[in-house]
Structure 1
Amino acid sequence: MFSDGVWQGAVAPQFDTETLHRQLQQLPQLLNGDRVERLSKGADYVVKLPLQLADAELWVTVKIFKRQRALKDRYDHRHGSKAARSYHAANYLQTHNVGTPAPIAYLDRWEDKNLLESYYLCEYQPAPCFRDVLSDIYYNQRDNAPLMDVLLALAPTIRAMHDAGFMHGDMGNQNILLPRNADGSYAAPQLIDLNRAQTQATPLNNKQRAFDLSRIILPGAYLKIFKFIYSNHEAIPAELDRFEKKFRRRFEWHTRSRKLRHPLRTLKQRRNPPAARPVYPSLQDIWLWDEKSAQPMTVLERHEKNRFRDLGYVLRSAMHSMLALPAIFKNYNRLLATSYQQPVTLQNRIGVALHPHPDYIEEELRLLNQLGNPPVLIRFCHHETEADWQRGIELIERLHQQGVGVMVAFLQDRRALLEPKSWANFLERVISATADKVEHFEVTHAFNRVKWGVWSDTEYAALMWPAFALQERFPNIRLTGPACIDFEYHPVIAALKSLPTGKKLQALSQLLYVDRRGAPENKQGKFSTLEKCALLKALAQWSDSCDDKVIVSEVNWPVKYTGIWSPIGCPYEAPKWRETQPGESEDAYAWYMLRYLVISLCSGHVEQVFWWRLSAHGYGLIDDKDGFRVRPAFAALAVFMQLLGKAKFVQKHDTAEQQYVFEFATETHKVMMAWCNGGVADYAAPENPERILDSLGQPVEKLQLSDAPIYLLYPLQ
């Protein structure tokens, strides 16, 4: 303990020296020194200053507590001041190996039962708080990886604190410091502002844990990840989850009602100049990219998304769809009946997406050559840098010189709408440099998923305006869109209806994924891949805002066992996904790819299909995480392109249910491609083939149909 007649308190043993005692006695005077720096605002505030310890200088943080009402003083006289409670709580954390700045001392000056002055001293920790780290990520980095690094470092610390029987009581983001190691990784998080803490001899129960967790401010999807990590990467206990949500709702109401509870304080704050920007962006403006899966992350939970839904867009979408569906389905029924009835030349109809990154370009160009240099899709992302865009432009120039057709996809972020001039400059930068080298420009991406930063058809239309303006400067460019994702066509209708009068897309492009149904022949209601393609074509024919041409600009199947590199598993592999391992095996991925390409293109409803992506660990033809390892899908596509890349589709043969036989003609052979959706079936070929090859080009002894397509080759007479 520390006492000199005026001051009462305690000094930590490792700092307990006469030198420090003398400085503590003079602390009020030292706080007026030239080297004192204020670190926080408010009535209870924090400063830092240097103190002399033996032969060394130590920077110290001092929490200065304001004068209180008499009732609170009486309480603190019995239970200890805020400074005393902070000091003892910090000692408790250190004893249990939970991070907090090393406690040095606390000082109280009492007069009878009135607390006149109160100070808590600890080592200064030169680290940003969790609040400021999040703000930097949301505004500047806009990337998932640094946020996941924070959560993976922080959640285990909070868990250890609770397991040690310590309840913080005020665990807001500002009360967690995040120091770093020399290599840039996160060191042990440091908990501060401990005066509301409570300790007990046993681990906290779920209700106590939930109270602390409810003070952490994160978007809903990342809060859920945080709770998974906190739960030792297992399922979140139902009781913990229920209490956390209850306390969070209560705290949110408490925060919203503050202006009613403190009207004078609110009026005073309104007189102050507004901050340059809020600590955090609005939830609807948070946009975080994940490089592993090459997509923005789902940031919000459903109830948070609903808070920002544009009711006008919902109503317009429903109205336009109801009015359009009769005409669209009339076209659909007619088109479906004509499926596979017309010959289709496959040359230049199958493309792959490349990744214009320095570590990929040369290897991918080599691999592209092995596929016969099919058309290529190149993404340009608004959130990337000028240098990234320049690499993409240079790659297009190389491909153009080699005679490779190119399609460009422009990807927006939320900032594209918040800063429209930046989006317009981005489009101008790329289109002006590549207008004569690109066959189609797809403008915007998956606007029907709010994680891509677009919340309505009017916002989609705002992104299209600069593209149409550029088309007036470069009249030969062909624009496509709206590039909605999955089998959701009502936002396609709404997007087309939102385009300016007289403006028209030169093709309807769609990210037509069917992976959730497994095989491409499997149906979603009444719609398999064939029916989905026919309906998309019918929609294109119905609309006067696009030409009668359909491009599937993105499709793949996630690969099993690829964890957070999978579009399903990113950015965190929840217990459910670890158990079920969603996605397809590498073999099934290859088989489904070939079948999708044949069904969609030979139907006559789709002009081109671009496979996303050539190299990607979680979903690519090549495993870029394993030294660009060739997967069966790449080998299968190479065989397909060699056999049928320039072939003409002739007809689809009548077969038993779930059996598929497609006939093609090349310059030298009739080729029949055959498979069975599920199981194994014998197949009697109409005549003896010259050769039978499997999907990887290897000879087959027995003619039998399975999920793996086979090729029957007949020489032309």
Structure 2
Amino acid sequence: MKEPFKWDNYSDQPAQLKDKNFKNNMRKKESSSILKTIFTGLIILPVSLVLMPFVKRKEVDSKNFFSLGVDYKREEALTLELLEELNVKRILIRFKLWEIDELKNLKTFILKNKNRKITLKILQDREHVENLELLERDLKTIFTSLNGLIDIYEIGSTINRAKWGFFSVDEYNKFYSVAYNLKMTKFKNITLIGSGVIDFEYHFTAHTLFNFFKYKYDGIASLLYVDRRGAPENMQMGFALSDKIALLSTMIWLSPKSKNVLHITETNWPISKTAPYAPTSEHECVSEELYEDFMLRYYFLSLASQQVDSVSWHQLIARGYGLVDNIDTIKKRSAFYAYKFMLQTLQEAQFLRLDIKRGYYILQFLVNDKLLQIHWSLKPTTLKNEDFFNVYSSIGKSIKDETLQIGSSPLYIYIKDGV
């Protein structure tokens, strides 16, 4: 990345922009776009709030719902081994435009994962944002080289953070338009998703969904982190995770620019005491136990919404936020085994319903013609282990205790036939 943009290899993201004068000057140049973002948000967000109750749920295919982010350059042999162990059907790979010379290595990795659906997240740098001819040339190279191997291309990422290279939504709109024009003229069979807004900052999303640029999305990509609020059920401005999903789905439903498809292409919680590998400060970090609990509950609530087509956990191997820690030695965190059991249990499941009563959650599925309930509670409580229960912990351990402890860690409870 060119100065003043630098990549932080510890946390796998751009470093903070320290030149305040540069940032201010760039934002002044984009002031008209920033005003459009504010204006669009003031109109679209209230309308979407009013119409939220009228958006119909869709039937989400659980087989393709669970996705996992992987780094194709990190511990390749181990990555492939772990993916086989997890039996994950969909993966997301990041590719940096400023590393276009690595395309051959990327393709080699992709070919080793031909049995999985692959989302390729194409990361921008400032040079490609400013030089759209360069962007067109490199995107054309990528699309040509990977023809038929990629299920979904995500164009751009984290567009509402200046350190990632965009200083306005219009800069992103121009950027995405290059990819869309290539699709329409030379690569009609590829699937493009975009928007790429991080966190609950939907005024930026509104501007990507309602504008006069002549492009369309095959679906919307959202980096819907909720880690700064703690648990996924916690409120932000009156919105828990489920409410944020519902509002975003409504905006997509209203937009003339996108199919009614939503992919959460990045989310996680940073893990305590892993600096400098954690992508945020220690204040936002959580224990490995809570990391596991919050990950599961994020997936469960997203699947229960029946409005999200896939959720991609970021990511498989990473010291500060991954299912596996690779510093000093290879350590599979408990969350790795929880992710594995979740996939094993729910990849073929049919969602039935979600019941919530005073902070107690019961999620119900049909799994191989058996009724499965998943229980957790925001306030620790107990439940009698009935004779017709088969109970498993979050990592698949059978529980025979007469009294079940229901709390932060979800329990899987199969209801025996005949009840």
Structure 1 residue ranges, 4+ long, deviating more than 6 angstroms after superposition: none
Is residue 339 of structure 2 the alignment partner of residue 621 of structure 1?
no
2:285 alignment counterpart: 583
Is 1:294 paired with 2:7? Answer: no
| 1:673 Cα offset (Å) | 0.6
Residue 122 of structure 2 is matched in structure 1 by: 410
Please list the CA deviations of residues 396-432 of structure 1 after superposition, one character each: whole Å capped at 9, or x if unmatched.
22212xx211111010011112333322222112111
Q: CA deviation at 1:343?
A: 5.9
Letter in 2 for 1:695: S
Question: Which of 44, 51, 67 does residue 351 from structure 1 map onto?
Answer: 67
Q: CA deviation at 1:691?
A: 1.7
For the pair shown, the structure with the greater C-alpha radius of gyration is 1
* Residue 94 (structure 2) pairs with residue 394 (structure 1): no
Structure 2 stretches of 5 or more lacking a match?
A: none
Of 627-636 and 555-564, the range deviating more from structure 2:
627-636
Note the C-alpha offset of 1:303.
6.9
Match of 2:137 in 1: 425
**Separation in 2 of the partners of 1:525 and 1:699?**
39
Q: Distance in 2 between matches of 1:301 and 1:421?
A: 27
Q: What letter corresponds to residue 488 of structure 1 in structure 2?
A: E
Of the three residues 378, 381, 396, the one matched with 1:681 is 381
Q: Which residue of 1 aligns with 2:97?
A: 382
Aligned length: 413
Q: Deviations over 1:353-380 (max 9, x none)?
A: 11111x5222111111111132010111
SS of the counterpart of 1:468?
helix
SS for the counterpart of 1:633 is helix
- Alignment gaps of 5+ in structure 1: 1-140, 143-280, 570-576
SS in 1 for 2:63: coil
Q: Which residue of 1 aligns with 2:361?
A: 660
Name the structure 2 match of 1:439: 151
Alignment of 1:55-454 (within 5 A): 142=2, 286-300=4-18, 305-309=23-27, 310-335=30-55, 344-357=60-73, 359-386=74-101, 388-400=102-114, 403-454=115-166
The equivalent residue for 1:488 is: 201
Contact 1:636 1:696 in 2 (8 A): yes
SS in 2 for 1:353: strand
| Alpha-carbon distance between aligned partners in 2 of 1:301 and 1:595, rounded to the nearest angstrom | 39
After TM superposition, list the pairs within 5 Å mapping 1:627-642 onto structure 2.
627-642=329-344
Structure-1 residue corresponding to 2:390 = 691
| 2-structure distance, mates of 1:558, 1:467 | 32
Confirm or deny: 8 A CA contact 1:344 1:602 kept in the other structure: no
| Among candidates 290, 297, 300, match of residue 598 of structure 1 | 300
1:77-118, CA deviations, whole angstroms, 9 ceiling, x for partnerless residues? xxxxxxxxxxxxxxxxxxxxxxxxxxxxxxxxxxxxxxxxxx
Change in 2 beyond 3 A, CA 1:301/1:590? farther
Q: CA deviation at 1:345?
A: 4.1
Question: Partners of 1:327 and 1:522 in 2: how far apart?
Answer: 24
2-side partners of 1:542 and 1:379: how far apart?
A: 29
SS of the aligned residue for 1:320 comes to: helix
Matches within 5 A, 1:19-34: none
Give the 3 Å change call, closer, same or farther, for CA 671–419 of structure 1 in structure 2: same
Query: Which amino acid counterpart does residue 314 of structure 2 have in structure 1?
Result: W
CA distance in 1, matches of 2:19, 2:232: 30
Q: Shift in Å at residue 499 of structure 1?
A: 6.0
Question: What's the CA shift for 1:606?
Answer: 0.8
CA 1:482/1:343 → structure 2, altered by over 3 Å: closer, same or farther? closer
Aligned-pair distance for 1:658?
1.1
- Aligned-partner Cα distance in 1 for 2:271–2:19: 25
Higher RCO, Cα 8 Å, sep 6+: 2
3-state SS of the aligned residue for 1:481?
Answer: strand
Q: Is contact 1:345–1:649 with CA below 8 Å preserved after alignment?
A: no
Pairwise CA RMSD: 2.0
Counterparts of 1:449 and 1:373, CA distance in 2: 31
Which residue identity lines up with residue 63 of structure 2 in the other structure? Q
SS at match of 2:193: strand
Residues 294-343 of structure 1, C-alpha deviations (whole Å, 9 max, x = no match)? 110111376763343222122111111223234322331324xx67xx76
Structure 1 contact 376–407 (Cα < 8 Å) conserved? yes
Give the secondary structure class of the aligned counterpart of 2:239.
coil
- Output the amino acid matched with 2:14: P
TM-score by length of 2: 0.93
* Structure 2 CA distance for partners of 1:626 and 1:331, relative to 1, 3 Å: farther
Q: Which residue of 2 aligns with 1:648?
A: 350
8 A contact 1:445–1:483 mirrored in 2: yes
Letter in 2 for 1:480: I
State the distance in 1 between where 2:307 and 2:279 align.
27
**Correspondence 1:565 to 2:281:** no
How far did residue 500 of structure 1 move? 2.6
Answer whether contact 1:458 1:498 (CA < 8 A) is retained. no
Provide the TM-score with structure 1 as the length reference. Answer: 0.55
Give the aligned partner of residue 311 of structure 2: 609
State the alpha-carbon separation in 2 of the partners of residues 419 and 345 from structure 1: 39
CA contact (8 A) 1:664 1:670 kept: yes
Name the aligned partner's letter for residue 559 of structure 1. I
